Amino acid sequence: MPELTLNLTAPHQPLVRATLSLAAPNRVLRFRLPGWTPGSYLIRDYVRHLERLEVWQGASPAAAPAGAGRLGSGAFRASAH
C-alpha cells in the first residue's frame, strides 16, 4: 500500500516536503498530478508549484537515484536502473 509522508518542520517556509513510498511492480512507473479539484469548474495548474522531483529506488540507506522525467502536463515517468 502506498505511504505518503508530509514534512512540515519549517512552517515559516511556503514549501512542504512530500515523500511517497510504494512498491512498484514494474521497472517503469508513470504518474500524474491532478489538474482540477472536485466540486470546482476551474482547471488548476498544481504542477507549477512542484519545485523539485526526485525519484529513489530501494530502501534507505542503500537507496539509489532513479531516472525521472516529465511526459507532459502533470505527467511524469520514473525508471529503475
DSSP string, 6-73: EE-S-TTSS--EEEEE---SSSEEEEE--SB-TT--SB--GGGG------EESSTTS-EE-EEEEEET
Residue of 51, 34, 76, 75 lying closest to 67 (CA atoms): 76
Residue 81: band (very low, low, confident or very high) from pLDDT cuts 50, 70, 90: low
pLDDT of residue 61: 67
Model-wide pTM > 0.85:
no
